[in-house]
Amino acid sequence: MEQKQEQKQELKKNLGAVTAMATVVGSVIGSGVFFKPQAIYTATGGAPGLGMYAWLITGIVSIAAALTFSEVAIMIPKTGGIVAYLEEIYNPMIGFLAGWVQILLFYPAMISALAVAGGQQMAFFIGDGYVAPVAVAMIIIIIFLNSMGSKIGGSVQVIFTVCKMIPLILLMIFGFVRGAGTNPVFTPMVGEGLSPMVVLGQLMIAILFAFEGWTNVGAIAGEMKNPGKDLPVAIVGGVSLIMAVYFIINLAYLWVLPASELATLTAPASAVAVKIFGKLGGQIVSIGIIVSVFGSCNGFILSGSRVAYSLAAEGKFPFHKTFAKLNGAQVPANAIMLVGGIGAFYALSGQFNLLTDLAVFSSWTFYTLTFIGVIKLRKDRPNALRSYKVPLYPVVPLIAIASGIFVIINQIFLAGHRSTVISIASIIVMLLGLPAYMIIKKRL
């Protein structure tokens, strides 16, 4: 019943460009901007230049990606998102592997990374040494809230989406007002002996985490009055606004603390807040950041569990009968516990940057296949009805494809031992989906 209601809502064409733009901004802005300076300036060797430019470069890549992705999302208006798109563009096996990786890697890694970030932030109140326990506790609380019903999970999301803007605004304004502004911002580009291209790949992996959420434009498109005209405006305007916010707040960080110091801090935004407002003011901003993290984590448990439920309901996931069950509150509690439980297991690592890199690599493998799918669909179905076409075709899709390939190759071969291990582990998990698919195919 709930699914039918959702489908009816998607058919209502009542969103204009401004509302859609606000939805894009709300979906994307999360916690990455508060925690990623450490990974960024560690990669640059403590130099600020390329780190700042990388926010702009990655923003442009995200615009190209979202514009390209939207053509597929509108042309294939099926529930299931990228799983359904890849199944129709290529074959059911590719679609299954996308869902398999989303359930076992992408969503749990995003959930655990956010929870670990919350644990790092809580260190300002309870001291170091509790990151993993706090992260696991946060996930368990969110699992419990979401299992009580979709209204509660949805209400949590709305409240926390509003609250997360408060620390952003405070840091942007008072960083410039009270910061000294004496630290270098655009030079040097990278530290001595580092390759700018290799570093850029590492930076893009780090920053793409902060831009994650643009895939939601597919759902937005289904509710727009005139997607062909308004969707590019919503995407370019929304992601450009996000890019500006990210650039300005990182400029504000450097206005207060040098890049070399930000590279050493697991909670850089809180350190900046303490420098600006003092200990009490810094703690208040830290509470706002924890609220933001909690809301983002809730959103990924909410959406990730629906991917698991959707695949299970179609009989396309191991133990499908268990994960397709709805509880008394008419929510997929078992699917929520599956995705959240894997996330809690990953959170035991306590490694924020490792987990975000895992999430980005696992997702961009299939995003890139979707970008290629736009060109494939243009060739396979030249006469198909397209209410929206990616602008400047094929330039924009080629930018998205080239960026995806660059991120993947850099992560596997160039970004260092840890990145290579993460990538290989991600590929192994994906390949384990092949025997699972064969078993499920026989049953179907």
375 C-beta neighbours (distance < 10 Å), count: 16
The CATH architecture assigned to 8-443 reads Up-down Bundle (1.20)
The reported pTM is 0.87
d(CA 286, CA 19) in angstroms, rounded, equals: 29
| Torsions phi, psi for 413 (to 5 deg) | -110, -25
Structure tokens at 336: 């929520």
Q: Which of 45-54, 148-157, 193-202, 402-411 has the lowest mean pLDDT?
A: 148-157
DSSP string, 179-241: S---S-SS--SS-TT--HHHHHHHHHHHHHHHHTTGGGHHHHHTTBS-HHHHHHHHHHHHHHH
Whether residue 279 contacts residue 63, with contact meaning beta carbons closer than 8 Å, is answered with no
pLDDT of residue 168: 86
Q: At what angle do helices 17-28 and 227-256 cross, to 10 degrees?
A: 40
pLDDT of residue 128: 80
pLDDT of residue 177: 92
pLDDT of residue 80: 72
Confidence class for position 24, pLDDT limits 50, 70, 90: confident
Confidence class for position 20, pLDDT limits 50, 70, 90: confident
Whether residue 21 contacts residue 233, with contact meaning beta carbons closer than 8 Å, is answered with yes
pLDDT of residue 438: 94
DSSP string, 324-378: T---TTSS-HHHHHHHHHHHHHHHTT--HHHHHHHHHHHHHHHHHHHHHHHHHHH
Whole-number percent of the chain with pLDDT over 90: 56
Q: For the segment 387-437, what is each residue's pLDDT rounded down to a tens digit?
A: 889 999 999 999 999 999 998 998 898 777 888 999 999 999 999 999 999
Q: For the segment 93-133, what is each residue's pLDDT rounded down to a tens digit?
A: 999 999 999 999 999 999 999 999 999 989 888 888 899 99
Confidence class for position 152, pLDDT limits 50, 70, 90: low
Q: For the segment 324-356, what is each residue's pLDDT rounded down to a tens digit?
A: 998 888 888 999 999 999 999 999 999 998 999
Whole-number percent of the chain with pLDDT over 70: 91
Q: For the segment 272-299, what is each residue's pLDDT rounded down to a tens digit?
A: 999 999 988 888 888 888 888 888 888 8
More confidently predicted of 99 and 152: 99
Q: For the segment 227-237, what is each residue's pLDDT rounded down to a tens digit?
A: 777 878 888 88
d(CA 133, CA 284) in angstroms, rounded, equals: 22
Confidence class for position 4, pLDDT limits 50, 70, 90: very low
Mean pLDDT, the chain, integer: 87
Most confident of 46-60, 277-291, 309-323: 46-60
Confidence class for position 160, pLDDT limits 50, 70, 90: low
Structure tokens at 222: 């289904």
pLDDT of residue 266: 85
